[in-house]
């Protein structure tokens, strides 16, 4: 089978840091075009927008959407209507309900829609899931604290409606949580701290539960200087399972269970190639649903303005 001819839409930090090397390292897919208003890539056909690319004679099979979430739906709808497969960066959109028509469009056109959650492909996730399938969790504590100025410099869209603020990294934790627990969780309470000049929260605490009474507490902060934390600690009868470093490391009471090299985006593209070959889609909205529910149920607190 000839490789999937991929167009990358959006050529910002995540596209350069992760997508380009992962595409280059993956069999069965090749980059043939870039659509970006601001940047181009040597040796790859370039267009300002997806619409321009579609209007050209450039032949391609699929798009990877690496633009901010606010415009993702319209780009995905356009690509699907043109018969292209679509890979969505996380979060898959600015709302949950906008995904329904995209899933339907992919089904009707027989194309693949893949809503990626890169953290689910971190090395610790599958072993953690397997462990928790055998040993019931007693409580879960998520600590997700990073410095937005280091990791998202100048990314103003994060603070606009639909940009999610601290939930942009926090949804990664929720994507791991919903992958490793056997039972679905739901939000039972939240407090969201909105800078007075921003439309998205800069910190949040979140309480979740499952039907069996499991309690999950999440503490998200976007102003963490010094050591950064991307940890999920699961209290069990066999000890504390710690998914650390965003999923890069798994320990049980400090003993390392797994420390494989990180390969999140290469696994994403390998999975995408497989989905296209099988004519399947993969769209799980649980992490975004939990964020929407946190906004719905959360108590809002106004905090100091944020300046980049």
Number of residues engaging a second copy in binding (CB under 8 A): 38
Orientation of helix 286-297 relative to helix 167-180, angle to 10°: 120
Using left for φ > 0, alpha for ψ between -120 and 50, and beta otherwise, residue 175 falls in: alpha
296 touching a second copy, by CB under 8 A:
yes
Look-up: residue for tokens 């969780």?
185
297 touching a second copy, by CB under 8 A:
yes
Query: Closer CB to a second copy, residue 93 or residue 246?
Result: 93
105 touching a second copy, by CB under 8 A:
yes
Residues in the chain: 308
CA dihedral 131, 258, 13, 148 (to 10 degrees): 70
174 touching a second copy, by CB under 8 A:
no
280 touching a second copy, by CB under 8 A:
no
Q: How far apart are alpha carbons 15 and 89 in whole angstroms?
A: 9
Least CB distance from residue 161 to a second copy, whole Å?
5
DSSP codes of every residue in 228-259: -EEEEEEEETTEEEEEEGGGTEEEETTEEEE-
The site string for a second copy over 114-153 (x = CB under 8 A, - otherwise) reads ----------------------------------------
- Binder among 2, 59, 211, 255 for a second copy (CB under 8 A): 211
Please give the structure tokens belonging to residue 39: 């940047």
Query: Closer CB to a second copy, residue 95 or residue 155?
Result: 95
- Binder among 21, 279, 299, 305 for a second copy (CB under 8 A): 299
- Is 90 an annotated catalytic residue? yes
106 touching a second copy, by CB under 8 A:
no
293 touching a second copy, by CB under 8 A:
yes
284 touching a second copy, by CB under 8 A:
no
Active-site residue, from 13, 84, 90, 270: 90
Residues 6+ apart with CB under 8 A from 173: 119, 142, 144, 218, 220, 230, 232
Least CB distance from residue 63 to a second copy, whole Å?
18
Least CB distance from residue 237 to a second copy, whole Å?
23
Judged by CB under 8 A, which stretch of 29-37, 38-46, 186-194, 243-251 contacts a second copy? 186-194
**Burial class of residue 286 in the structure, from the number of CB atoms within 10 Å of its CB (0-12 exposed, 13-18 middle, 19+ buried):** middle
- Binder among 34, 187, 206, 216 for a second copy (CB under 8 A): 187
304 touching a second copy, by CB under 8 A:
no
Please give the structure tokens belonging to residue 113: 């829609």
* DSSP 8-state code for residue 98: T
CB-based contact 291:94 (threshold 8 Å):
no
- Binder among 132, 135, 289, 303 for a second copy (CB under 8 A): 289
Residues 6+ apart with CB under 8 A from 32: 5, 6, 7, 44, 45, 58, 59, 60
Please give the structure tokens belonging to residue 194: 């909105």
Query: Closer CB to a second copy, residue 8 or residue 174?
Result: 174
Enzyme catalytic residues: 90
Please give the residue ranges that form the binding site for a second copy (CB under 8 A).
73, 77, 94-98, 100-101, 104-105, 161-162, 183-190, 194, 199, 210-211, 286, 289-293, 295-300, 302
């Amino acid at each position: 089978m000839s490789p999937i001819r991929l167009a990358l839409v959006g050529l910002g930090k995540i596209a350069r840091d992760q997508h380009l090397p992962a595409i280059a390292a993956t069999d069965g897919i090749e980059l043939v075009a870039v659509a970006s208003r601001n940047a181009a890539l040597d040796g790859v056909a370039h267009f300002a927008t997806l619409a321009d690319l579609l209007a050209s004679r450039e032949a391609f099979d699929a798009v990877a959407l690496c633009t901010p979430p606010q415009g993702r739906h319209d780009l995905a709808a356009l690509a699907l209507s043109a018969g292209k497969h679509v890979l969505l960066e996380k979060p898959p959109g600015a709302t949950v309900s906008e995904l329904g028509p995209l899933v339907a469009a992919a089904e009707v056109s027989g194309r693949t829609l893949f809503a990626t959650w890169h953290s689910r492909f971190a090395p610790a996730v599958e072993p953690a899931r397997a462990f928790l399938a055998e040993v019931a969790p007693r409580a879960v504590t998520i600590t997700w604290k990073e410095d937005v100025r280091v990791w998202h410099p100048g990314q103003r869209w994060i603070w606009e409606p639909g940009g999610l603020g601290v939930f942009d990294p926090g949804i990664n934790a929720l994507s791991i949580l919903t992958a490793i627990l056997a039972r679905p969780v739901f939000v039972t309470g939240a407090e969201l701290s909105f800078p007075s000049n921003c439309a998205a929260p800069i910190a949040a605490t979140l309480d979740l539960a499952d039907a069996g009474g499991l309690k999950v507490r999440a503490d998200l902060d976007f102003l963490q200087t010094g050591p950064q934390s991307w940890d999920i600690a699961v209290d069990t009868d066999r000890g504390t399972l710690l998914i650390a470093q965003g999923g890069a490391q798994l320990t049980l009471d400090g003993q390392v269970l797994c420390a494989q090299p990180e390969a999140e985006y290469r696994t994403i593209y390998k999975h995408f190639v497989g989905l296209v070959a099988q004519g399947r889609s993969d769209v799980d909205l649980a992490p975004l649903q939990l964020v929407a529910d946190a906004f719905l149920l959360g108590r809002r607190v106004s905090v100091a303005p944020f300046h980049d």
